[in-house]
């Protein structure tokens, strides 16, 4: 039996997989078990944020794992403290404290638990087409119908508003509303976003109504949009920010950043996680974000985004681009059947979305010009 057959036999089939076994990665490339090389514009689902197997991260993991692989949160470890300090610094002068979890869903789950605990209220306003994860509470605030197969009673404590319509948010708020949760660029939905002025109005409305604002920056955070935080680039300071994906370049970690007015009210024992903030994963994250925070790195992301956008608009059947930085949606005049598969056949990985007219690009932020040009060449020839 082949590995793929064995895998189908032993693994629960929750994923629709392509029949390819990935064995190696380096920078913007991965290789399959047959030795075929793929240019990765999907970035391992936006996780390989500074490329596959970045040396700085491998070195940091290697160094840490030889002194301490793991200890739980009953003791102090240096990497978690340094990482929390570094993340909080990125939001200066606002004061935040950090909690580490293991996935985007868990970060959002934690955020909702904390806003409910802080406000003493249960109701959450979320947005149509948003995605916040697959655990029960993060699913309950996810606004894409096809994810609601397990009926997590999302109507009980969630009201969905339309992203971009402040009136619909106002209508959705009630006396029991604890917070609004917002995925500011709705990635899986097809890179849908509101006008930038909307997010400022959203922050002002939350302040006026005395409810909290959670920004789900699981995808938009950590430099993905050409800014370390998308919220900061919009000029807003959400009460809670969640992030995950590329934080440790592929090791599982997520973070919840809370304004100190909230975090300082939390007592020991009210929340915890065995693996959250472990020393190896935090060392990997420190190396990752130190690279992103290097002088000129984010400007370079912006420049590459501008270049790639200008070239994509010249391609056949492309009607529009959306997103920011290197989180991009390419919209077509009509759905192109099997586009992802055709790209794979040609050694290129791109991402699909829930919108059949839209594909997603979320490459490594370190992708170089030569690889961008190669992507444009392959993509152009497929579209032609």
Q: Which of 203, 216, 355, 371 binds ligand PLP (CB under 6 A)?
A: 216
In whole angstroms, give the CA distance from residue 299 to residue 78. 30
Q: Which is nearer to ligand PLP, 159 or 242 (CB)?
A: 242
The size of the interface with ligand PLP (CB under 6 A), counted in residues, is 13
The interface region with ligand PLP, picked from 11-19, 195-203, 212-220, 264-272 by CB under 6 A, is 212-220
The interface region with ligand PLP, picked from 93-101, 211-219, 257-265, 362-370 by CB under 6 A, is 211-219
Q: Which of 27, 28, 183, 253 binds ligand PLP (CB under 6 A)?
A: 183
Shortest distance, CB of residue 53 to ligand PLP, whole angstroms? 20
Shortest distance, CB of residue 254 to ligand PLP, whole angstroms? 6
Of residues 33 through 62, those in contact with ligand PLP by CB under 6 A are: none
Q: Which of 103, 126, 263, 366 binds ligand PLP (CB under 6 A)?
A: 103
Q: What Cα–Cα distance (Å) separates residue 103 from each residue in 64, 141, 251, 319? A: 21, 16, 10, 34
Of residues 229 through 248, those in contact with ligand PLP by CB under 6 A are: 244
In whole angstroms, give the CA distance from residue 258 to residue 261. 8
Q: Which of 43, 79, 104, 323 binds ligand PLP (CB under 6 A)?
A: 104
Burial of 270 (0-12, 13-18, 19+ CB in 10 A): exposed
Q: Which is nearer to ligand PLP, 289 or 372 (CB)?
A: 289
> CA 18: distance to chain centroid?
22
Q: Which of 133, 276, 277, 363 binds ligand PLP (CB under 6 A)?
A: 133
371 makes contact with ligand PLP (CB under 6 A): no
Number of Cβ atoms within 10 Å of the Cβ of 81: 13
The interface region with ligand PLP, picked from 49-57, 92-100, 102-110, 120-128 by CB under 6 A, is 102-110
Number of Cβ atoms within 10 Å of the Cβ of 188: 21
105 makes contact with ligand PLP (CB under 6 A): yes
324 makes contact with ligand PLP (CB under 6 A): no
Q: Which is nearer to ligand PLP, 112 or 372 (CB)?
A: 112
Q: How does strand 327-332 pair with strand 358-361?
A: antiparallel
The interface region with ligand PLP, picked from 205-213, 216-224, 233-241, 305-313 by CB under 6 A, is 216-224
Q: Which is nearer to ligand PLP, 144 or 378 (CB)?
A: 144
Cβ–Cβ under 8 Å, residues 17 and 45:
no
Q: Which is nearer to ligand PLP, 51 or 104 (CB)?
A: 104
132 makes contact with ligand PLP (CB under 6 A): yes
Q: Which of 77, 110, 177, 219 binds ligand PLP (CB under 6 A)?
A: 219
187 makes contact with ligand PLP (CB under 6 A): yes
In whole angstroms, give the CA distance from residue 229 to residue 212. 18
Of residues 298 through 317, those in contact with ligand PLP by CB under 6 A are: none
Q: Which is nearer to ligand PLP, 353 or 371 (CB)?
A: 353
Shortest distance, CB of residue 227 to ligand PLP, whole angstroms? 16
Q: Which of 125, 191, 218, 240 binds ligand PLP (CB under 6 A)?
A: 218
Taking each helix axis from N to C end, the angle separating 369-383 and 297-312, rounded to the nearest 10 degrees, works out to 20
Task: Output phi, psi for 183, to 5 deg.
Answer: -90, 100
The interface region with ligand PLP, picked from 16-24, 69-77, 129-137, 322-330 by CB under 6 A, is 129-137
Q: In sequence order, which residues have a C-beta less than 8 Å from that of residue 312 and are 6 or more positions away?
A: 318, 321, 328, 330, 376
The contact set with ligand PLP (CB under 6 A) reads 103-105, 108, 131-133, 183, 187, 216, 218-219, 244
């Amino acid at each position: 039996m082949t590995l793929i057959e064995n895998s189908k036999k032993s693994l629960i089939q929750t994923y629709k997989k392509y029949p390819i076994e990935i064995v190696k990665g380096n920078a913007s490339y991965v290789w399959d078990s047959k030795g075929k090389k793929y240019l990765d514009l999907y970035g391992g689902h936006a996780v390989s944020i500074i490329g596959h197997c970045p040396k700085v991260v491998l070195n940091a993991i290697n160094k840490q794992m030889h002194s301490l692989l793991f200890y739980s949160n009953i003791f102090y470890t240096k990497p978690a403290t340094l990482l929390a300090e570094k993340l909080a610094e990125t939001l200066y002068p606002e004061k935040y404290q950090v909690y580490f979890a293991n996935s985007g869903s868990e970060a959002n789950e934690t955020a909702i638990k904390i806003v409910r605990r802080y406000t003493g209220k249960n109701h959450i306003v979320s947005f149509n087409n948003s995605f916040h994860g697959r655990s029960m509470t993060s699913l309950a605030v996810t606004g894409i119908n096809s994810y609601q197969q397990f009926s997590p009673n999302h109507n009980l404590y969630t009201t969905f508003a339309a992203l971009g319509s402040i009136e619909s948010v106002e209508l959705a708020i009630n006396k029991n509303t604890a917070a609004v949760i917002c995925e500011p660029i709705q990635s899986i939905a097809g890179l849908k976003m509101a006008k930038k002025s909307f997010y400022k109005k959203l922050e002002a409305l939350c302040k006026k109504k005395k409810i909290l604002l959670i920004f789900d920056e699981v995808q938009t955070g950590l430099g993905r949009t050409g800014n370390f935080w998308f919220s900061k680039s919009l000029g807003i300071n959400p009460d809670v920010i969640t992030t995950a994906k590329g934080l440790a370049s592929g090791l599982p970690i997520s973070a919840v950043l809370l304004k100190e007015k909230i975090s300082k009210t939390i007592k020991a024992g009210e929340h915890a996680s065995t693996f959250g903030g472990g020393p190896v994963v935090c060392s990997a994250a420190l190396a990752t974000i130190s690279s992103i925070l290097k002088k000129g790195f984010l400007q370079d992301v912006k420049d590459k985004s501008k270049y790639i956008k200008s070239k994509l608009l010249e391609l056949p059947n492309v009607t529009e681009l959306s997103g920011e930085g290197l989180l991009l949606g390419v919209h077509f005049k009509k759905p192109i059947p099997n586009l992802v598969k055709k790209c794979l056949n040609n050694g290129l990985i791109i991402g699909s979305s829930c919108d059949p007219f839209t594909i997603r690009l979320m490459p490594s932020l370190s992708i170089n010009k030569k690889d961008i040009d190669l992507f444009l060449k392959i993509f152009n020839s497929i579209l032609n």
